[in-house]
Amino acid sequence: MATPRPLPTTSLQLPDPLPLDSGQVLDGVTMAYETYGTLASDRRNAILVPHALTGDQHLASEHPITGKPGWWVRMVGPGKPIDTDRFFVICANVIGSCMGSSGPAALDSDGRPWAMRFPVITIRDMVRAQVALLDVLGIERLHAVVGGSMGGMQTLSLAANFPDRADRVLAIATTARHSAQNIAFHEVGRQAIMADPNWQAGDYYGTGAAPDKGLSVARMAAHITYLSEAGLTGKFGRRFQDRPDGTAGGRSFGFDADFQVESYLRHQGLAFTDRFDANSYLYITRAMDYFDLAEEHGGRLADAFAGTRARFCVVSFDTDWLYPTSESRSLVQALNAAAAPVSFVELSAPYGHDSFLLDVPALDRVVKGFLE
């Protein structure tokens, strides 16, 4: 994604400058968002769904670039667990991203792309922007905030920093802080992008060359962390990829994609560069690495939720080694210590971290029940 392009989506400009954790202030923030369902006259049926690292606002509608169905279409829609016949569902592109909201690929007031002049942001900054969007939309109190992965971090951050804004908080496959291992994987991705000569210190917009190789490697490394070992083995094992002429593959004694898993990862990496901006990847992974909800609240996670009146539900998956169940348990422990009403369940699913996006009927039942 070398050049910013106009995308079909709803967007608006936030009326006030956005103060950031870095101390900087972002003026004229654009928020691109999609809504599904109808806002009730009392404005009490709104559900905010913050998206994950490479997600976007196209939650339950076709992606304008890939043409694929929305990323959570199995969860959100008429009659679905997040039922758009009952709820008004809002999904906004996070700031720092590249699907229409303010980010490094968007234009600064001087008409040039922000690139690396865009301020480094945090998860809390993303949430501030979403809350400002809710203000503009006239939604004072959410029926629920629901998010998986980085969406779960925003969900928790909203509950901690804006405790009066949501009645229910549902955090799926997530963590209250990024671990050393999480940061390490992200650093591999960032280094891959910055090592690509096409990165050009971030100023690649309009040059006809973008760091697609680097971004693709970053995506490949990250993609492994989203799957389980058993899932990879089940899907690919050590099977060889058929040759382009259709004959059965095998060892080429070279460095083509002999194995199906190699071919799959290369495809994932390449396809990603069509829809995502490399600088956005740097900014968003950095925001995730900075995330530590306890640190924001004096070092004690329970204090992040002191005095909350929301109901919480935390869900983990037994094959998720990126944000393992132990992380969810510490979160639940903190919520218990804060005397918050909390439910927690570890669901069994074979797909690793990505389970929250995939066919796990038990998750559907939990989400539906919790939103009642």
Partner 1 sequence: MSLRPDLAVIARHVAPNTRVLDVGCGEGELMAELQASRQVDARGLELDPVAVERCVARGLSAVQGNADRDLADYPDKAFDYAILSQTLQTARRPDVLLDELLRIGASTFVSFPNFAYWRNRLALLWRGRMPVTRNLPVSWYETENIHHLTVGDFDELLARLQVTTERRWFFANDREIAPAGANWRAEHAVYLLRR
φ, ψ at 344 (rounded to 5°): -145, 135
Decide if residue 348 touches partner 1 (CB under 8 A): yes
Query: What is the distance between the alpha carbons of residues 372 and 368, in angstroms, rounded to a whole number?
Result: 7
Q: Helix, strand, coil proportions of the chain in percent (round to 5)?
A: 40, 15, 45
> Is-contact 145 159, C-beta < 8 A?
yes
Which of 192, 342, 349, 357 contacts partner 1 by CB under 8 A?
342
Count of CB atoms situated within 10 Å of the CB of 285: 25
> Is-contact 171 49, C-beta < 8 A?
no
Q: Which stretch binds partner 1 (CB under 8 A): 28-36, 119-127, 135-143, 334-342?
A: 334-342
* Residue 4 or 147 with smaller CB distance to partner 1: 147
Give min distance, CB of 78 to partner 1, in A. 20
Residues with Cβ within 8 Å of 180's Cβ and at least 6 positions away in sequence, in order, are none
Decide if residue 87 touches partner 1 (CB under 8 A): no
Q: Does the annotation place 354 within a ligand binding site?
A: yes
Active site residue 149: yes
Catalytic residue, chosen from 143, 316, 353, 355, is 353
Give min distance, CB of 46 to partner 1, in A. 19
Which of 64, 256, 346, 358 contacts partner 1 by CB under 8 A?
346
Nearest to 7, CA basis, from 88, 93, 73, 69? 93
Decide if residue 362 touches partner 1 (CB under 8 A): yes
Residues with Cβ within 8 Å of 148's Cβ and at least 6 positions away in sequence, in order, are 52, 172, 173, 174, 356, 357
Q: Does the annotation place 219 within a ligand binding site?
A: yes
Give min distance, CB of 173 to partner 1, in A. 15
Which of 46, 59, 105, 313 contacts partner 1 by CB under 8 A?
313
Phi/psi region, residue 324 (left: phi>0; alpha: psi -120 to 50; beta: rest), is beta
Catalytic residue, chosen from 11, 149, 157, 328, is 149
φ, ψ at 216 (rounded to 5°): -65, -40
Give min distance, CB of 41 to partner 1, in A. 25
Active site residue 297: no
Give min distance, CB of 96 to partner 1, in A. 33
First to last CA, the chain: 41
Decide if residue 326 touches partner 1 (CB under 8 A): no
φ, ψ at 256 (rounded to 5°): -75, 175
Count of CB atoms situated within 10 Å of the CB of 106: 21
* Residue 274 or 359 with smaller CB distance to partner 1: 359
Q: Which stretch binds partner 1 (CB under 8 A): 19-27, 137-145, 197-205, 335-343?
A: 335-343
Which of 311, 321, 350, 358 contacts partner 1 by CB under 8 A?
311
Which residues contact partner 1 (rule: CB under 8 A)?
311, 313, 329, 332-333, 336-337, 339, 341-348, 362, 365-366, 368-370, 372
Residues making up the annotated binding site for substrate are: 219, 354
**Which residues belong to the active site?**
149, 320, 353
